[in-house]
Structure 1
């Protein structure tokens, strides 16, 4: 059972902390006060006991307000009966200023929509709708040919979408996993727009390429860490009386055995981050064999090379090559057409095939990817699309453009003659 208040006006000489002190005197009644938002609650197995305790708290608070010259707004005061019992059960009958407090199924408190059964479905739907409106702005800026660069779009995703998705996650994380998955689609859509990934790209590969944790792990990190801010001022020894004595005692303490002292929780933040990243790494290692991007990297955190001076189209093409999903190789899934085959080898056309396997592109590999061979002399996807991609001898974008698979523009060195365009030039990776 919870009763929520919005204070209409506050006298500067009568702080609301006095209200909280009066609530705490009632046994079993708990409350939350944040600026002018006040809620009180009481939990019991019998409704008469709940009503008696909460009505006593309401009377004390309203009397305190009346003696100080202001009133609570009765129209804004609501009650929510938090209960998961099935069948008919009574709602609380509470009054403020001789006016019955309406009992509602859900209410907004500190930005969270609390429903009576604590499923958090209304709140999750509200957050998703708000983030979808923000995604419309991201779509305008994230065109795969002329949009903003990758770094800017990822920053916008973190600030405009992720902050909304994570607000209050410590509270609504009690919802079931199936209901929490409603927010995952928004997170994945934002990352996909920022990176320019193709629509069929696997979600694990998408998040690894962007270097952004899955929402489930981000919620887990927030639950373990919590958030608190403290300020501490420590004066220097200079000019402080007893400086020499303090130095002497400090030197004596350094020679003694370290005492057993409690570790501040904030000191565990780095360990929590390491544990969360290790969990993400374990999830990725379990998928490395089954994903195309597993051939490129086995690590979740890396320093991908994305050169912004070559434009948005270059970044998009490189991201799609790394994930192994592009319009050329997987566009048939969207159009429901036949799967494309290599005209020379008569095998399904994949990113790995035209980068590593196709014999008709041997000369181009020798020309642009001559540093991408292993000690055994074979070309490796991790060397072609890894952290050194686009460096001399790893010029994968020039390779696919010369092969007639991609028009990037401004990638060809000055004075270089363009070869004859192949039949595949009409199809693009991006």
Structure 2
């Protein structure tokens, strides 16, 4: 199939998907465009005859994409004597393409197709005694998210329209999985479930697919790259870093030698061994196997947005910096790669590293990490990579660790290229922070309850979890039925205030005695009070005891809400069953 590219005339673009061919002809007038397209079709016909391929004109279609009126060519385009039909919205790999490339019809069709899938999620999440929200969310991701994100390489041209049109489908499935009301605010439903809203999820997938394209090509340009750069800049306020390309897409060839690896110390050194027992074992290994080898120690370090590597045993030591998006794994692998580059080629060398994950990745030969592939390609037979326990008082390892700490703050960089997995992970975190900043600026009831995307543990009972989820988002039948019936908001019959979940559980004087009892019960010293808060948050499925979330720890409503939920377990829970 690759010979087809050479058969086409100049000025015509071709896209090849298995045995499907897309020809793109661009011109200032219809007549000139039609002439280019006919020449390209004739070239494809001649190539098919020469290579014994069959062409099917009845399965082909022509589409006119521009901002002017949708008018067919004056003269037909023919293939093998048959006229190729002209269509307003042809399908390319099941994606409808309109003349303005907005994909409006395609988005509407996806929205229609997902309605039955949403009903399946609703059935799974509403007909069981036990809570199975995790399963419902996984089913939603498999059935609905896959449908929405299909073909993003093409539909990302109008990714804002995609997010606007299909957000109701995406968020509706989240509401069904959490047993929330259909009128629950979308962002509150996603935050309570611990997932990103539709717009942020689409942005992450667009960037992820653009990066996947970049790491497999060199110097290629396509539309998804420009859109990904714009999205990355919008969500992070920084530019998309340079991408480290893979050396190969497949696993290590069977006839390529695996680097010399030594993991004997993993079977000798135990996890709880003291330093006094670990050092003699290491020295015994060195004196027995590597007495005549040149010894190099490597290490990688990351602290917040600073990444560095340290190499001891080359000159007076090397301390270099990596881009802030790199992970500790990448830093450890980069340190070994640099050590192999700088070592002497004629002397047997042993490189000691405390990263067992890097050594295991080298052993399997299945890693697509560019630094790992560089080590596999450059490591010669005279070089051995040996695992050594870290932070056990081994002099060379401690020196390399110190150099790595210095490397985090130095100006000299190993490379500016970052592996795709590291950029993807970094962007996911920054996109989550972008949404959390947006969330905290809303300043409503749900913001007082939860301020992070961490998933809280669900209750075992589906009814209890349904009530709890609706109380968290502050959107219940008794407080928000007016949004459906279009009447005035309800007022509290006791104090004539706006009826809200916060008012019922915290401020209403009807429960003043219970509130006083809870205040007395919680009037402990500061250390005991903090421990009680953590215990109560863990009880309702909140963060663990050591969670450092300021919003939850500083807000007394969370504590009162927790105590009241269980104080009224026999009365309020029954009355709230239909919330």
- Relative to the length of structure 1, the TM-score reads 0.77
State the 1:96 CA deviation.
0.2
| 1:154 corresponding residue in structure 2 | 137
Partner of 1:237: 260
319-328 or 212-221, which moves further after superposition? 212-221
Structure 2: distance between partners of 1:35 and 1:143: 42
8 Å CA contact 2:171–2:198 kept in 1: the answer is no
2:431 matched to 1:276?
A: yes
Q: 1:113 to 1:140 in 2, by over 3 A?
A: same
- Tell me if structure 2 keeps the 8 A contact 1:145–1:312: yes
Question: Which residue of the partner structure matches residue 398 of structure 1?
Answer: 566
Question: Are the structure 2 counterparts of residues 344 and 224 from structure 1 closer, same or farther at C-alpha, using a change threshold of 3 Å?
Answer: same
Change (3 A) 1:373 1:83: farther
1:11 is matched with none
* One of 455, 458, 462 as aligned partner of 1:306: 458
- Map of 2:27 onto structure 1: 44
Q: Is structure 2 residue 540 aligned with structure 1 residue 389?
A: yes
- Counterpart contact for 2:65–2:101, Cα < 8 Å: yes
Distance, in Å, in 2 between the alignment partners of 1:18 and 1:265 is 32
Relative to its length, the structure with more helix (as a share) is 2
Instruction: Establish whether residue 354 from structure 1 lines up as the match of residue 339 from structure 2.
Output: no
Judge which range, 225-234 or 168-177, deviates more: 225-234
**Structure 1 residue 85 displacement after superposition:** 1.5
How far apart are 1:349 and its partner, in Å?
A: 2.8
Provide the rounded CA distance (Å) in 2 between the counterparts of 1:176 and 1:131: 18
Write the distance in 2 (CA, Å) between the matches of 1:35 and 1:147: 46
Change (3 A) 1:372 1:155: farther
Structure 1 unmatched runs, 5+: 1-15, 408-424
Deviation readout 1:113-133 (Å, 9 max, x if unpaired): 111221201110111111112
Q: 1:196 to 1:238 in 2, by over 3 A?
A: closer
Bigger mean CA offset, 344-353 vs 29-38:
344-353
The change in CA–CA distance for 1:153 and 1:246 in structure 2 (over 3 A counts) is farther
CA distance in 2, matches of 1:254, 1:114: 62
2:131–2:458 CA contact under 8 A, matched in 1: no
Cα distance in 2 for residues equivalent to 1:351 and 1:199: 18
Show the counterpart of 1:319.
Answer: 469
- Partner of 2:126, secondary structure, is coil
Moved more, 139-148 or 313-322: 139-148
Q: Displacement, 1:18?
A: 2.5
Q: Which whole-Å deviations, capped at 9, do the CAs of 1:65-92 have from their partners, x for residues lacking one?
A: 2233342111101111111114867467
Confirm or deny: 8 A CA contact 1:144 1:312 kept in the other structure. Answer: no
Match of 1:119 among 78, 102, 114: 102
Q: Deviations over 1:331-352 (max 9, x none)?
A: 3433456654444434333211
CA drift of 1:365 comes to 4.5
CA distance in 1, matches of 2:524, 2:27: 69
**Quick one: which of 28, 32, 54 aligns to 1:71?**
54
Classify 1:63/1:373 alpha carbon distance in 2 versus 1 (closer, same or farther; 3 Å).
farther
Q: What secondary structure is seen at the aligned counterpart in 1 of 2:497?
A: coil
Mapped contact 1:124–1:180 kept (Cα < 8 A): no
Q: 1:263 aligns with which of 417, 420, 433?
A: 417
Q: CA deviation at 1:285?
A: 1.7
Query: Quick check: 1:20 aligned with 2:16?
Result: no
Q: Secondary structure at the match of 2:55?
A: coil
Going from structure 1 to structure 2, the CA distance change for 1:341 and 1:116 (only over 3 Å counts) comes to closer
Question: Quick check: 150-159 or 349-358, which moved more?
Answer: 349-358
> How has the CA–CA distance of structure 1 residues 344 and 180 changed in structure 2, closer, same or farther, with 3 Å as cutoff?
closer
In structure 1, C-alpha distance between the alignment counterparts of 2:250 and 2:134, rounded to whole Å: 33
Please list every run of 5 or more consecutive structure 2 residues that lacks an aligned counterpart in the other structure. 217-248, 263-289, 298-310, 321-412, 543-558
Aligned partner of 1:295 in structure 2 is 448
Hey, what's the Cα distance between the residues in 1 that align with 2:75 and 2:197?
41
The separation in 1 between residues aligned to 2:207 and 2:171, in whole angstroms, is 23
CA RMSD of aligned residues (A): 3.6
Displacement after TM superposition at 1:388 (Å):
4.7
* Contact 1:42–1:54 under 8 Å retained in 2: yes
TM-score by length of 2: 0.58
Q: Shift in Å at residue 286 of structure 1? A: 1.5
Distance 2:314 2:74 in 1: 66
| Matched residue, 1:99 | 82
The separation in 2 between residues aligned to 1:246 and 1:31, in whole angstroms, is 54
Q: Which residue of 2 aligns with 1:212?
A: 195
